[in-house]
Structure 1
Amino acid sequence: SPEIWQAMIGHLRTAEQSLGQKCRIFMDLGGPKIRTGDIEPGPKVIHIRPTRDDYGITVIPARIWLTSSENPSSVPDDCAAQFRVSESFLKCLNRCDEITLTDARKKSRKWTVVDITESGSCVESIKACYVRPGTAIQLKNGKQTPRVQTEIQDFLPQEGILCLRKDDMVLVTSDSVQGTNEERDSAGNIIKPATISCTMPAVVTQVKAGESIWFDDGKIGGVIEKVEPEHFWVRIHHARPEGSKLRSAKGINLPDSQLNIAALTGEDLRNLSFIAEHADVVEMSFANSVTDVQLLQEQLKRLNAETLPIVLKVETRKGFENLPRMLLTAMRWPCCGVMIARGDLAVECGYERLAEVQEEILSVCEAAHVPVIWATQVLENLARKGVPSRAEISDAVMAHRAECVMLNKGPHITEAVEALDNILKRMQSHQRKRRPMLRELRLAHLTT
């Protein structure tokens, strides 16, 4: 929201003054991203699991946070789950007290109080348990009968998931209905196929039988077998052997379909006035045609932002094929650039062809003297887990041929920035753009 964006910009400007360095703000127009709709929620149950060794012996008990239903607090990082209970129950707890319950499987379980604070209490469980709303918990003290009892308050259900396997049929609908898994009779025959809606109903009438469709960044793939007025049928041909999980709000790619969709959504147009006032660069997602580029330029002129640099994000096969013509239009603007958005682009063009496609984009942009941003999953393992893979180090080296590299967020983003800076500095004397510099090798000075 604009309020959050404004706060982020404020923090950045403060950091600029503190460090004496200038940092440019890039803001993205989300564009017409097609996503999966809502999915019917799962059951209201939470599985509590302690850590066990190879012999099944608990080595680290599972930690659970109990907080007041009247004044709930946030769950600590070391707790696997949080449950809301009555405040009167919490006030009766002492360290080392035992809490008993019967879980959803009718198994008797015991929790031990290990910490008490003003905002809640932490308990530990050495055995796995399944907890659902309304579960009665009792406070015991030695051999005495239960002296205090309460119930676990209501909580959100599990996230809805469709489990799709190879050769499954999926019904993609334009209706705003919750997705559901397939239903089978006692003999294993399908009586109702899996169903999922999409966030852009207009595409349902624009696809054709025989065209491919991909879900969730290419993790699940299929072919459209039949198209009807309000839905179409998809036969899954790419999924994990044990089944792939599809969640709501995941991307849908239709690389073979000729879609007639406006490049700027209503939300984009509403956000553009804020971007024109506060951003240093505006990025256009799913730039597919000359008309798309012209539309953005017209909107910026309307906002008196004729000098705001624009970046065309190449994310689709159509955008790649139309890139030369889009560049000629964008280059009439005072400043422009191109982003190789390799996530959707890999799905649209195929992973096998991605290397060729990104090479062609680099070549075309170099010939046009247009700067390029190398994006998507650069040093992703390092940013998220703290340890890079060998493949992503090589990918970061390849990124040196672009003018800018984009990193995704993660808990180890600082280490990722430092590693990328180190890699790019080392590559400066080896290569400039796509040309090797043929510098003197350090190996030549090694003595035997």
Structure 2
Amino acid sequence: MSASTSGPASGPSGPTRRSGLRRAAVESVSGLPRQFWWLWTSTLINRLGAFVATFLALYLTVERGYSASYAGLVAALHGLGGVISSVGAGVMADRLGRRPTMLIAQLSTAASVALLGFMTDPVAIALVAGLVGMASNASRPAVQAMMADIVAPKDRVRAFSLNYWAINLGFAISSTAAGLIAEHGYLALFLGEAALVLACALVVYRKLPESRPTTNAQGGADGGAGGPAPAPVSMRTVLHDGRFMTVVGLNLLLALLFQQAYVSMPVAMGQDGFSSTDFGLVIGLNGVLVVLLQIPVTRFIEHRSPALLLIGSALLAGYGFGLTALAGSVAMYAVAVTVWTLGEIINSPTQMGLVVRLSPLHGRGRYQGMYALSWSAASLTAPLLGGVVIDHYGADALWGGCAVVGTMAAVGYGVLLRGLSGRPGAGAVARGTADAGASAGAGASEPVA
């Protein structure tokens, strides 16, 4: 081909480029069931009201005048509540159904958050904060299980990515709004979150039918024509599923890394002489990048090897936090945040797709509950681990340890996912059943009274 022939086609015109971007945007959101979008809307509304957990420490130390140690204790109890509810809510999602579990969790969250705003006794505040942690984390397994129920296997990574995008968009808006609302009194934050959680529950009640798979009279699942009854799934089944529990353990390692952004990084920046404004700018970059990049990055990774994606995301997370040891300026901290945020963007939808793939159809709630437990456990233990390492060995040792942990997780994913598609035995059957059930969609759901 001559140079003259190739020259005019070297770059797309403006209208062509815009048309391509518009087509990519449409493809990113098309083909998903209507029920998914109501679930997505409920998630966004819920995260728009996520005021209290973000500003709880400031409320206790500034508004109430309690010590930093007491604020840390309350935060730990909030995390402990999430640990307790994760598994129990997963069992409820399988036994009672996804929709009732979400409604119970959301109504309990609204009531406990509003109650917390009126508590003045330190013991009462700590106890109610634990209840808030239990209630606010209880809907997570049901939401993820319902998403797996109603979205076809080929679209799950995209669906989980869109849901994660809604979480971060809501958080970015709520964090900004909460600061303005707090100027008029912290009680408004508690009551505002309670009101938005009630709005979320209203969406679930009015727009989301139950999606839990049912067993027909012939023993088949979801209206299938006969066949053996599905094997019962208990928490013992989950704990004895070695491959899935390894996924939970590897996710715990990564969750411990990501939690350092909100626990250890502000401490390290303070020790280096940076202000709270500097930290706000740096950590705000994480939310901006997720909102801007989550959907285009997901389009790029959607049909690529989950093993390579999880290995790469673990390395980006580990070495992104490792770069913090070299940070001597706000710009370098921003570079480190950018690296581990890319790991977060890749990991979240890919990891959720793997969890669903390994979960049996009639045990999705329990499996999602155990997966959620890894995040709750990380939120409880990360502040303690980070603080101990910084106090005894310094911040640079912590960031170097993060790089080691990221490498360990990458190696673990490589070993775990080798030959996953050919896994013999019950796990492979479970994955096939799960995918078949998701393909059936909401039409296989039990009727809503």
Whether TM exceeds 0.5 here: the answer is: no
> RCO (CA 8 Å, sep 6+): is it higher in 1 or 2?
2
TM-score range with shorter-chain normalisation?
under 0.3
Q: Higher helix share goes to which structure?
A: 2
If the length of structure 2 is used for normalisation, what is the TM-score? 0.21
If the length of structure 1 is used for normalisation, what is the TM-score? 0.21
Instruction: Return the index of the structure with the highest Cα Rg.
Output: 1
Q: Higher strand share goes to which structure?
A: 1
